[in-house]
Chain A
């Protein structure tokens, strides 16, 4: 099976802009979770989607949002970008997200200038 894929792999944006990142889970996986990875804060949970519904959300401002499509692909959006949003954004897929393993994609490296 193909692994988790994310696009784009790299992005450079300016403060105030918005950005949309995409994640395609492993075939058959229905849960997608998003994480932000920074040197200072480590890996932090953003949100999780299952069957097109957000089931869980981390402690991030409302500028961070996401959605999931009927084919389980997921997107996350960050509006009004700030310098502190520069990070590696990782998505992880799992079968149903309840008690099973999560497999990560390669990430999208976002740089905000």
Chain B
């Protein structure tokens, strides 16, 4: 089955710096890669996603890049702010159908701390 590795497990940056979180996946059939932000005691919140027919996607200070050949994708946050502090999870899902319906395979999470 799919396996997703996420690095680093913790990341500490100063306000205004950039933060990068990287994930690798094992199943070449995976074609959907969302990123979730989870603040303490709250639900995971979808912040950005990318599909395998796209190499990069941006939404204001957040961007995601995908390298299908290397099977890795990354989250980039620019001009970080203290409110960006949270746990970030990457995930991967294979094509719809078969054993893939609804199944997101998650990385272990990255604790991001942005110091004022």
Q: Residues on A close to B: CB < 8 A?
A: 4, 31-33, 35, 42-45, 47-50, 55-56, 58, 90, 92, 94, 97-99, 101-107
Within B57-116, the residues touching A (CB, 8 Å) are 89, 91, 96-97, 99-109
B43:A102 contact, CB within 8 angstroms: no
The stretch of B10-18, B19-27, B44-52 in contact with A is B44-52
Structural contact, A58 and B103, CB atoms closer than 8 A: yes
Given A33-B104, A42-B106, A48-B102: A98 in contact with B97 (beta carbons within 8 A): yes
What's the Cα separation between A43 and B42 when bound, in Å?
14
Query: Who on chain A is nearest to B95 by CB?
Result: A99
A-B contact count (CB 8 A): 70
Chain B interfacial positions (CB closer than 8 Å to A): 31-32, 34, 36, 42-46, 49, 51, 89, 91, 96-97, 99-109
Partner of A48, one of B31, B91, B101: B101
A-B contacts, 23 of them at CB < 8 A, read A31-B101, A33-B103, A33-B104, A35-B104, A42-B106, A42-B107, A42-B108, A43-B106, A49-B102, A50-B102, A55-B102, A56-B101, A56-B103, A90-B44, A92-B102, A97-B101, A97-B102, A98-B96, A99-B32, A102-B46, A102-B102, A106-B42, A107-B43
